[in-house]
Each structure stands twice: as C-alpha cells, then as structure tokens.
A and B are shown apart, each in its own frame.
Chain A
Amino acid sequence: MPQLEIVDLKANYGAQTVLERINLSVEKGEIVSLIGASGSGKSTLLRVLMGLLTPLAGNVRINGQTIDYKDRAQLGRIRSQMAIVFQQYNLFQNMTVLDNVTVAPIKVKGRPRKEVEEYAIALLQKVGMGAKLKAYPDELSGGQQQRVAIARALALQPDILLLDEVTAALDPELVTEVLDTVRLLAADGMTMFIVSHEMSFVREVSTKVVFMDGGHVIEAGDPHQIFDQPQQARTREFVGKILRH
C-alpha cells in the first residue's frame, strides 16, 4: 500500500484555481521531487498537504486512511505524520535553537522534557548544529537556520518530510551544507517530498520526479526519464531551458 496517495486534488486561492486534478502515489522510502516554473503549484501542493490551505475537491490518503482537512483532530494527526521545512526557515525568533526544536513535542504533544531534549540534541548534532544549542535565530546564517528547521521538523518523528525550496533563499556557499543534510536523510530511508530548483541535486537523489505546470501534473517518472527522455512537449521545453546552464 502506498504511504501517501493524492487523488484528483483541487485547490483555489480565492477565485483562482492553483491545483487541478493532481494525482500522485508515493511509497515508503521514496523521494519525490516536484519541479516546474514559479507559480506552477509545487509549493501550494505542499501547503495543502500540511493543511495550510484547504483543498476544494479530491482526496489525500495516508497509509490508506483518507484525511478530512476540515476536521481539527485529523489535522493534528496529519501534522504528526508529516512535517514541512519552509524556504524561509520560519524559525521562532523568540526561542533558542534547542527550544525551537523541542517546543512542539513538549508543548503540543506533551512528551516528557528530558526525553525530547535528548532526542533534539541528537538531531541537532546530526544536522551539524550541536554546538549552537543556545543561539538565537538572528545569530545564525541562513544555512544554519535551515538545518535547525530540518531538525525541528524531524523532532516530531514524521513519516513523511516535505521540503519546500529549502535552498532557494540561501547564499550559494551555504546551499551545500543543507543539501548534504538532505542526502543524509535520504540515505536513512525517510520518505520525502522535495520542491527544488537544484536540478543536479534533484536528479541525484530522487526516486521519482514530477513536472508541474499551471497547477497540473504534466509528467511523472524516474529522473532518467524526465531529464533525458521527457515524453511531454512542455516537459521537454522546461528541461531544455534549465539544463542549458
């Protein structure tokens, strides 16, 4: 059974349709990358999955169970099964690195502090931020903040990790450290949904690449197919443009 199934998903921003008939299936351990131009709906899809935008029609199933995004209790369940890392890290400015990672498990899930802190410290060390536990977000570089954001997302022990253009806001020299962290997670077998512009990275790490345009899924397949032998004209056009440099 696929871990995540998206069936005929449709979403609007006010009067504008931003996602139309999205169909995707993700098995456990798969790394699915969404590529496409700005405004194609990639980030929107992640936001809908996390319940930040309520879908108009269609279904999302996690481990076979259909999710009703309008039900608060179910929303809570989704958010413990899926976690997201944003482009702008969105760390809580008023909390230290350690607090940012531990606040949700302790305050929202009610787990004991000691256990949560131990796990958080291990996670932060894994992403290379073990020395900065007491630092505040505005004392850190973009790459450092993003790695903390990743640790924060992992602290809830999600089944699926969503990464929304996590390197797009970073200076070039900081991109590598974040991508290395993502590679680490991939090697660990974490199911991931990645939205990214870093094409060589996408190609290297993904098990499936999905090309989106104008709110639709145009083509989905393994990296070799999408990048080297795109079937659809629009895919070919996009890939042609981005691989030119």
Chain B
Amino acid sequence: MWSQIAEELPRFFGYHNLIFFAKALGSTFALSVIGCVVGFSAGFVLATLRMSKRASLMPLRLMTTVFVELFRRIPFLVTLMLVFFIFQGLQADLSMFSVALVSVCLIATAFIAEIVRSGLESVHQNQWDAAATLNFSYWQTLQMVIIPQAWKIILPPAFGFFVLFIKDTALASQIGVIELAFAGKAMSNKGFSATLVYGTVLILYFMLSYPLSRFGKYLETKLAPTRNR
C-alpha cells in the first residue's frame, strides 16, 4: 500500500490537481465565511427581535422563535436536500453552490441567533432597569448599553461556531458542490488510492480549522470578563 502511495504522489500533487484542490478549499472557505457573516447579521436581528417586549412585534417574535428552534433541530443534510428540492420544485435554476449557500445561511442564522440571545441575556437586568428609569427606548438601551457589554460574551462562541461550521460544509458535497469533500471523491474516482486522497483531505481540513480554533481560544481568554457587574 505504501509503495503504491509513494508511486502516486507525484501525479497526485500535479499542477492541475493542486489547482483543483485549491479551488475546492476556496469553496469550503467561502461557504463557511459567507454563511457565518449572513448568519451573524441575520441572527443578530432575530435575537434583538426576540428580546423585545413590544406587543405589536409578537407575531414576528413567534416566527423568529419557530425558525430558530426548527433549523437547530434538523440535520444539515436534510436541510440541504429540502432547500434543493424546494428550489427545484419552484423551477428556480440555481447552481448547487447557491443551494448550499442558502442552506448554510439558514442554519448559521438559527444557531447564531441563539448565541447572540444568550449573550444579550447575560447582561444584568439592572442595566435595563437603569436605562428604563432614564427613559431609554428598547432600541436605545440595546444600542448604547446592552450590546457594548454583550459583544465580548457573544464573540467567542460565535467564532467557535464558525470553526465548527467549516466541518459541516463537507456535506455540501452530497449535492455536488465542488468543495473539499467533493474534491476527495473526485480524486478517488480518478483512481488514486483512497488512503492518499482522504488522508490529504483530512489534513487540508485540519490546516483550515486548527489555526482558526487556536485563534478562537485566544479570543476567549482575551475577552474573558475581568470583573463581574
């Protein structure tokens, strides 16, 4: 087996294959980053909506809660397939990457909305009370008092989710998106030994994920609350 691998190596790391892997890596990264950026923005909006107490926003709040609870409890693969088939049913001619992107954004939004909500709730009630007695509106309180204090609590787990999410994108290969996992399958189909192919893919994911996860741990220690209240 090892001699076979040694023999394949030069062909495997040939120019075209390297470009192919690089593009695939880029897709994986793009899916994760765009998914999380959209997820963070939309998730933030949803979280602030959920925390408001205005009666008029009740239907929106309900929909938000349903959305978040739903998309956190459906496996990535099932969400992906559903989005794929719904778009197909609507006869929308979307690329596989777009389908995957939509799925990724929906899921990231749901999970990050929870993280943001948890962070906002961790700010002590007395900050809300003080702002209320000074007649701050809900949005003023959020903007000037709560969010400045909550972002340090939100950022580490949000970043952690991003790192986790990179690995989830591997499932996009199942609808034919040319990302890293798909690249592995493709190379395997070309005849290269599975050990070489999947070993390389594992290492590539590792190289993408590990530095980011170290950075995430660094963020966590740097933003840790220095004092309570």
Asked if A108 and B148 make an inter-chain contact with CB atoms under 8 angstroms apart, the answer reads no
Q: Is the CB of B134 within 8 A of A156?
A: yes
Q: With a CB–CB cut-off of 8 A, which chain B residues contact A90? A: 126-127, 129-130
Interface window among A32-40, A81-89, A117-125, A208-216: A81-89
Of the 9-residue stretches A61-69, A72-80, A180-188, A234-242, which lies at the interface with chain B? A72-80
User: Of all chain B residues, which has the CB nearest A139?
Assistant: B227
> In which size bucket is the chain B interface?
10 to 19
Residues of B within 8 A of A138 (CB): 226-227, 229
Q: Does B132 touch A at the CB level, under 8 Å?
A: yes
Q: Give the shortest distance, in Å, between B96 (CB) and chain A (any CB).
A: 44
- The answer to whether B140 touches A80, judged by C-beta atoms less than 8 angstroms apart, is no
CB-defined contacts of B149 to chain A, threshold 8 Å:
93-94
Give the residues in chain A near B229, CB-CB below 8 Å. Answer: 88, 93, 138
Using A93-B229, A94-B145 as known contacts, say yes or no to A51 and B130 having CB atoms under 8 A apart: no
Q: In whole angstroms, how far apart are the Cα atoms of A121 and B226 in the complex?
A: 29
In the complex, the answer to whether A51 meets B145 with C-beta atoms within 8 Å is no
The residues of B that contact A104 with a CB separation of less than 8 Å are 134-136
Per-position 1/0 for A36-75, Cβ under 8 A of B: 0000000000000011100000000000000000000001
Please tell me if B144 contacts chain A, counting CB pairs below 8 Å. Answer: yes
Contacts of B134 in A (CB 8 A): 79, 83, 103-104, 108, 152, 156
Q: Find residues 80-134 in chain A having any chain B CB closer than 8 Å to their own CB.
A: 80, 83-84, 86, 88, 90-95, 103-104, 107-108
Q: A52-B133, A104-B135 are in contact. Are A92 and B140 (CB under 8 A)?
A: no
Q: How far is the CA of A50 from the CA of B128 in the complex (A)?
A: 13
- Are B126 and A88 within 8 A (Cβ)? yes
Q: In the complex, A76→B132 CA distance in Å?
A: 9
Q: Please, which residues of chain B bring their CB within 8 A of the CB of A50?
A: 132-133
Name B145's contact: one of A75, A84, A92 (CB within 8 Å): A92
Q: How far is the CB of A3 from chain B (nearest CB, A)?
A: 19
- Selected contact of B129 from candidates A76, A86, A95, A107, CB within 8 Å: A86
* Cα A104 to Cα B144 with chains together (Å): 10
CB neighbours (8 Å) of A156 from chain B are: 134
B149 CB to closest chain A CB (Å) equals 5
Residue of A nearest to B134 (CB): A104
Which residues does chain B contribute within 8 Å of A93, judged by CB atoms? 127, 149, 229
| Complex alpha-carbon distance, A235 and B88, angstroms | 78
Q: Please judge, given known A-B contacts A90-B127, A94-B145, A94-B148, whether A51 and B132 are in contact too, CB under 8 Å.
A: yes
Which of chain A's residues has its CB closest to B146's CB? A94
Q: Which residue of B126, B133, B144 has the most chain A CB atoms within 10 A of its CB atom?
A: B133
Q: How far is the CB of A200 from chain B (nearest CB, A)?
A: 28
A92 — nearest CB in chain B belongs to which residue?
B145
A79 and B144 within 8 A (CB): no
Distance A83 CA – B132 CA, assembled complex (angstroms): 11
Q: Mark A137-160, 1 if CB is under 8 A from B, else 0.
A: 010000000000000100010000
Name the distance in Å between B90's Cβ and chain A's nearest Cβ. Answer: 43
Residue interface bits B166-209, CB-to-A below 8 A is 1, else 0: 00000000000000000000000000000000000000000000
Query: A51: which B residues are within 8 A, CB to CB?
Result: 132-133
The 8 Å CB contact of B140, one of A88, A94, A95, A107, is: A107
Inter-chain contact B127/A92, CB cutoff 8 Å: yes
How long is the Cα–Cα vector from A156 to B134 in the complex, in angstroms?
8
Residues of chain A within 8 A (CB-CB) of B226 are: 138
Alpha-carbon separation in the docked complex, A79 to B229 (Å): 25
Question: B: which residues have CB within 8 A of A?
Answer: 126-127, 129-137, 140, 144-145, 148-149, 226-227, 229
Residues of A near any B CB (own CB < 8 A): 50-52, 75-76, 79-80, 83-84, 86, 88, 90-95, 103-104, 107-108, 138, 152, 156
Closest 10 CB pairs of A and B: A90-B130, A104-B134, A94-B148, A79-B135, A90-B126, A76-B135, A94-B149, A50-B133, A84-B133, A138-B227
Show 12 residue pairs from A and B whose CB-CB distance is below 8 angstroms, ordered by the A residue: A50-B132, A50-B133, A83-B134, A90-B129, A92-B127, A92-B130, A93-B127, A93-B229, A107-B140, A107-B144, A108-B134, A108-B137
Q: In the complex, given contacts A79-B134, A86-B129, A90-B130, what are 17 additional A-B residue pairs having Cβ atoms less than 8 angstroms apart? A: A51-B132, A52-B132, A76-B135, A79-B133, A80-B135, A88-B229, A90-B126, A92-B144, A93-B149, A95-B145, A103-B134, A104-B135, A107-B136, A108-B135, A138-B227, A138-B229, A152-B134
